[in-house]
Structure 1
Amino acid sequence: MQPIDIPADWNGSALLTIEEFCSLARTPQGTVRSWQARGIGPRFWRFNGTGRLYTTVDEVRRWVAPRSAAIDLRDGELGGRR
């Protein structure tokens, strides 16, 4: 599994649409919406009564951080078994 790579120079308060997040995460929108319904994905909001869902770069970083650490640990464990 590849970690989500968020460029360090991205403004943390910048908005991402759900479509942009799905592209960044390389994950189908249906999966992301399922995560949202189960409360396990990044938080998304609607602004000005629009139907489009948005998240922030900081929210994606917050959500990605523990998952990246878990991937690093798994990679290290696998490396020890080879």
Structure 2
Amino acid sequence: MLRVGGAPGGDEDGVHFVNCAGAIGRRTPSGDEIRTDEDFAAHLLESRRVAVIHGAAYGAPGYFRISFATSHDILTAACEGIARACADLS
């Protein structure tokens, strides 16, 4: 469902864009439709307390931006949360 890299403008050191197009059109457990990368970012925050920035804010709709400038433990927990949030979608 997700793919790292490939956003317009490329990736910067410590920041990567992740393609979330596979989540568009899917539904959260509460029945809300994920229509945009902004909806997906909101789903991550609300369901798993993972904060990312929607790609449209950087001219890259269909992606979200994740910063790797944090500890390994926090990054691991965030990645696990993102995976669970994706698995929650139908």
TM-score, normalization: structure 2? 0.29
The two structures have a TM-score, normalised by structure 1, of 0.30
**Larger relative contact order (C-alpha < 8 A, sep ≥ 6)?**
1
Greater strand share, 1 or 2?
2
